């Protein structure tokens, strides 16, 4: 399984102080090091700014990812939704999301090579999908797919409330349920792999740079290791020929996994999608 982390430097900087963002980064990087996981972090360059200026502190957070031997990708400057803005505006936002990450990568001897669609929204027509994929390719990008999507963002939002309130009991309750939920989600998508592809595949997991994962991702990865998982790079995962399959059959509004895009493109019976785990109402009701 490859691990990808969206919304760097930290998801929702407005939820956190610099000290908190520093600690979240420290704990996330420690988790990846402990497990030998070569995660890719996807950056929103708009989140690097404070009052319209690049914040050196937030740049240092990205540098810490590179210093840890991890990789950075582009997640768009402003996290624009391709389903809500014209393709031209969306593509301009992709370009605007490059400069700072490019500088950091080039200084480390690497290059910017991965793009992750905000909201996993890849276009509501085959024409837009084709246009934007060709655009991304022309700029040297490989699209970073997701095969294990989830509603982790709901837990992340709730956990930020408990984290900032220093409510240890609520943090424990949310965290424990999050671990349960994520393990169920992984099991669900392994079943989807068998139903849609006919075999196990190298999965690509999506999570975010939340305080939630700084505190609880270690437990999830340990549980998955106990099930026999090992961690590979995104590059290694994409070597599997399954990722050459077309995804242009899905032109709906929702952002869905590549597994489900393949199934829809190949006109499989959508009843196979049933059974995806949900988030309890008590978690959804907690606001940051």
User: Quick one: pLDDT at residue 189?
Assistant: 98
User: Quick one: pLDDT at residue 231?
Assistant: 98
User: Quick one: pLDDT at residue 72?
Assistant: 98
Helical segments of the chain, H only? 18-35, 56-67, 87-96, 99-107, 126-138, 152-165, 168-196, 211-226, 234-237, 258-265, 281-284
User: Quick one: pLDDT at residue 44?
Assistant: 98
- Residues in the chain with pLDDT values less than 70: none
Report the domain count for the chain.
1
User: Quick one: pLDDT at residue 59?
Assistant: 98
User: Quick one: pLDDT at residue 74?
Assistant: 98
CATH number, domain with residue 201: 3.20.20.370
User: Quick one: pLDDT at residue 190?
Assistant: 98
User: Quick one: pLDDT at residue 287?
Assistant: 86
Q: Domain span at residue 170?
A: 2-284
In this predicted model, what pLDDT tens digit does every residue of 160-193 receive, in sequence order?
Answer: 999 999 999 999 999 999 999 999 999 999 999 9
The pTM for the full model equals: 0.97
Q: Which residues sit opposite 143 in a β-bridge?
A: 115
Q: What share of the chain is helix, strand, coil (3-state, %, to 5)?
A: 55, 10, 35
Give 67's contacts (C-beta < 8 A, 6+ positions apart): none
């Amino acid at each position: 399984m490859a691990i990808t982390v969206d919304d760097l430097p930290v998801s929702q900087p407005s939820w956190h102080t610099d000290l908190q963002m520093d600690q979240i980064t420290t704990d996330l990087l420690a988790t990846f090091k402990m497990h030998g996981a070569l995660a890719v972090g996807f950056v929103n360059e708009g989140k690097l700014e404070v009052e319209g200026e690049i914040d050196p502190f937030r740049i240092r957070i990205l540098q810490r990812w590179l210093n840890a031997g991890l990789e950075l990708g582009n997640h768009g400057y402003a996290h624009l939704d391709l389903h809500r803005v014209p393709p031209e505006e969306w593509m301009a936002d992709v370009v605007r999301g490059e400069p700072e990450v490019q500088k950091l990568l080039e200084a480390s001897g690497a290059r910017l090579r991965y793009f992750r669609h905000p909201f996993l929204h890849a276009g509501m027509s085959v024409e837009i999908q084709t246009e934007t994929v060709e655009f991304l390719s022309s700029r040297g990008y490989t699209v970073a797919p997701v095969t294990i999507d989830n509603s982790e963002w709901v837990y992340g939002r709730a956990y930020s409330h408990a984290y900032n309130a220093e409510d240890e009991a609520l943090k424990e309750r949310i965290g424990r349920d999050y671990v349960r939920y994520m393990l169920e989600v992984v099991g669900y998508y392994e079943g989807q792999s068998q139903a849609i592809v006919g075999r196990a595949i190298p999965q690509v997991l999506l999570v975010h740079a939340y305080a939630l994962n700084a505190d609880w991702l270690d437990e999830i990865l340990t549980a998955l290791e106990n099930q026999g998982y090992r961690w590979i790079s995104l590059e290694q995962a994409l070597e599997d020929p399954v990722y050459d399959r077309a995804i242009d059959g899905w032109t709906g509004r929702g952002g869905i996994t590549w597994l489900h895009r393949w199934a829809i493109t190949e006109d499989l019976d959508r009843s196979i999608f049933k059974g995806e785990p949900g988030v309890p109402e008590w978690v959804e009701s907690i606001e940051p």
